[in-house]
Structure formats: structure tokens, C-alpha cells
Amino acid sequence: MSDARHEPVRTMATGATILRYRGVTKRYGNFEALAGVDLDVHAGEVVCLIGPSGSGKSTLLRCTNGLESIADGVIEFEGTVLPRDERMLRAVRQRMGMVFQSFELFPHLTARENVAEGPRTVLRMNTTDAGRRADAMLAKVGLADKAANHPAALSGGQQQRVAIARALAMEPDVMLFDEPTSALDPETIGEVLNVMKALADEGMTMVVVTHEMSFARRVGDWVAVFDAGRIVEQGPPQQIFDAPTTERTRDFLGHLGWTG
Amino acid sequence: MTFDWSVVWQHRDALGQATGMTVLLTVATMFIAVPCGIAVAVLRLYAWKPVGVLATAYVELFRNLPLILVVYWAFYVLPILTGLGLSPLATGVTALALNVTAYNAETFRAGINSIRRGQTEAAMALGMSRAQALRRVVVPQALRRILPVLASTWVSLFKDTSLVSVIAVSELAYVAMQIRAQSYRVLEMLTAMAVIYWLLGYPQAKLVDWMQRRFAVTE
């Protein structure tokens, strides 16, 4: 490990450190999915993880809430090292909302029931209160009128907004988005990004794995560029998109046809 | 050859009661074999390895033994093993439940495996335990998906209850055979039996088809 990696990776901090990654390493057999990742996420920040497919962005997100375990390094959440014990991990996951590329709404439940499920089962809230919270969250993502619909009766964009409401219903301290718009039709991407932008404006701390460069630029406070399991460059969006300092970043953005 | 259908009418009470017994056997067996099937499937999938192996051994044993053998076994061996003097009805239900639980366990296992991993992950990301994710998210979906299979198991079971006639449980097959033996009206009694089994079995199959459409989950 080089010393450079352990230097402060951030010059400007906006708030308390919510997530702190140091030397995070993840292996699948011989394949190193994460090869020593250092990153900080501060309260109220939107951190966007970009880079080619298979570069480790999603893996880092999945390690963050313990869906995957790491081989080496540390992940700290709100000043505490992420526990390995399943029971303790559950308490941590309650405070992290996660949104998946493929929505993963529960198809046997209505939109309201989907959103109420976490508060009911995990927070042991009664049905009335959980339903009320679900309605409030659905209203927040603009889907109050779809509360009684099953996921199959919703468009992809609407399903993803319900999934965001479901995560918000746990009142998390940080939201993790794993390519939230990659499975969507182009015409519904905007509605999901708008909901995410509104969340960011409210001050929600967010880690977003995305291929939407304009979102990363417009909404992101900090952008990390991944390649082959490493962060090859990180900085404010202006730096990454207008004056990238590494060849890898320029290559990646060039492949996307990014012109600034 | 002459037919005397009056024998059927003459024994209508006995046949009616026997039909009731057949229905009771089916319902009681399924009542046991559905929760037990889920339990065995969950043990096979998630339990500590030695327990999982035991569950697998149970399934493979009872799925591959002829049901009639299990019925005889339950009748002759079970009282010696357990020291209990079970009634023929209880013995019959035990034998049927042992067999159907094994089949249901396989059905549930396939159903649970068919629900994609992301569903469990989404549940766990909310802070649910693996058990909660199973109970609230995976099993309800698996149940809906395997309803047609459970339905055909149900209809098979309804007919297979006739096998417990060999241990003198007074269900439809046993009683019809008794009447046949007393009256010598073989063809009439066999026909009556066929008609009763069919008339009861067919609507059940249709009902379950309807339930399947009603509760179908589309993704």
C-alpha cells in the first residue's frame, strides 16, 4: 500500500464523516473486485461513483451495507467500523437506504405495502402508523395516487420511485443508489433523477453509482472515478469533468463521448 | 347382464359418511403437510448442514417409497416404535402426511429457489433478518408461484386417500368395497365410487385453477 492513499483524500469537508473507506479490498476467488479503495462521504453530500462496468462501483456499495463482506481494509459508518456479525449489521442497514438497479419491489404487495413493509417488520410499527408513513413517502416521490397499485401495474420509473420511498420510510442517514436508472426506459429516467435531485436538495447524504454523467456533474458534490477495483481519480465534478488529471478518467469520459 | 343401481341408493348414508371421511383425510393431511413441507424445505435450504442432510434424507426416503408400503408401515411398525395406539384414521393421516410432506418440501424448495436473490437482498437492506425476509417476502411469493403444483398434489392426494382402505379406515374406497362384498354388485359400486371421486375431484381442480388466476403475481 502506498502512503499517498492514506493522506487526507478530501480538501473540503461539508459535514461530519458519515462513511469512511480505507484500503477496502474485495476478492471473488482470484479476481480482485476492489483493490484498496479510500473514500470519505460527509453528511449532506452527494458522492457519485462512475467508471466502466465491472470496475467495482456497485461492489463498493454492496459492501457498504454488508450485503457483501470485504477481505481487507475498513469501512466506518458514523465513526464505527462496520460489524461482521449479522445481527449487528441489521441495525446498521436500518440506517442505510438502498435502491437497486432492478428495483426489487415486492411484487405480491401494493406500493403502499411495499413502503410500509420496513417500518412494520423491522421497526415494529403498527399497521396504521406504517401505512401513514408509507403514504407520506409516496407523496414525497409524487406517487400518492398509486398507493394501491401493485408493482406490475406501474412503469419502470414509477417502480423505482416506490423503491426510493421504501428506502426513505426507514428514515435512513444515508441513501445508497446502485445504478438506479440503468434499467429504465429513457423517457422515465428523468422522473427518477428529479426525485433524487430533490432528495439531495433536502440535504440527504447520498452515494450514487451512476452512468448518468450529467447528473453526477449537476448534483454531485464529489465524484470518484473507478477502474479495475481502484479509484483512479476523485474530486469535485468540475475537476473530474472539466480538468481530469489522469489518463484513465480522460479515456473513460472520452469513450462516453463526454465533451464537457 | 343386469344392473341393480338401487344398491347405491340403499347405501347412500354409508357412502355419504365415507365421502366425508375421504374429504377429512385429504384436508387433515394437507393441513399437516403444507407447514411441515415448508419447514423441511427451509431446513434443507438454510439449516446447519447435518440438519439439512437429515431433511434431505427424509425427503428422498419418503418420495421413493410406495405410499401403500408407508401405510402398512405406519399401521404395523409405528405403534411399536412410538408405543402409541393410534386409531386407523390417525395412522392413515400420519402415513399420508409423511408422504405428502416430502413432496411438498420439494415443491416449496423449488418455489423458494425460483424467487431471485435480489428480493432477499432488498428485504435485508431494509434491516430484516434472513428469517423475516423468508417469511415476509420469499415464502409468500413462492406460495403463489407453486399453487398449481400444490393443487395437483391435492387432487392426487384426494384420490390416494383410497390407499388407507387397506388399514380399514372407513373412507370411500373401503366402504364401497365393503358394500360390494356384501351385495355382490361389483360394477354398480365401482361406478358409484368413480362418479363420487370424479364429481368431487373435478371441481377441486377447477377451484384451484381459479385461485391460481386470482392470486397470480406478475412481475
User: Which among B127, B129, B137 has the least Cβ separation from residue A106?
Assistant: B137
> What ipTM did this prediction achieve?
0.90
Closest-CA residue in chain A for B128? A122
Best B126, B143, B146 residue to mutate vs chain A (most A CBs within 10 Å): B126
Q: Do A108 and B140 touch (CB under 8 A)?
A: yes
CB of B132 less than 8 A from some CB of A: yes
- pLDDT in the model for residue A244: 92
> In the predicted model, what is the mean pLDDT of residues B148-153?
86
3-state secondary structure of B219: coil
**SS3 assignment for chain A:** CCHHHHCCCCCCCCCCEEEEEEEEEEEECCEEEEEEEEEEEECCCEEEEECCCCCCHHHHHHHHCCCCCCCEEEEEECCEECCCCHHHHHHHHCCEEEECCCCCCCCCCCHHHHHHHHHHHCCCCCHHHHHHHHHHHHHHCCCHHHCCCCHHHCCHHHHHHHHHHHHHCCCCCEEEEECCCCCCCHHHHHHHHHHHHHHHHCCCEEEEECCCHHHHHHHCCEEEEEECCEEEEEECHHHHHHCCCCHHHHHHHHHCCCCC
Neighbours of B203 (CB within 10 A): 10
The C-alpha of A124 sits at a distance from chain B's nearest C-alpha, in angstroms, of: 11
Q: Do A107 and B124 touch (CB under 8 A)?
A: no
The C-alpha of A43 sits at a distance from chain B's nearest C-alpha, in angstroms, of: 20
pLDDT tens-digit profile of B52-65? 999 999 999 999 99
Q: What are A's interface residues with B at a Cβ cutoff of 8 A?
A: 65, 67, 86-87, 90-91, 93-94, 96-98, 100, 102, 104-108, 117-118, 121-122, 150-152, 163, 166-167, 170
* Tens-binned pLDDT, residue by residue, of chain A (260 aa): 344 444 344 545 568 999 999 999 999 999 999 999 999 999 999 999 999 999 999 999 999 999 999 999 999 999 999 998 999 999 999 999 999 999 999 999 999 999 999 999 999 999 999 999 999 999 999 999 999 999 999 999 999 999 999 999 999 999 999 999 999 999 999 999 999 999 999 999 999 999 999 999 999 999 999 999 999 999 999 999 999 999 999 999 988 877 65
State the sign of the Cα–Cα–Cα–Cα dihedral A102, A105, A111, A116: negative
Q: How confident is the model at residue B215 (pLDDT cuts 50, 70, 90)?
A: low
pLDDT tens-digit profile of A23-62? 999 999 999 999 999 999 999 999 999 999 999 999 999 9
pLDDT tens-digit profile of B81-92? 888 878 888 999
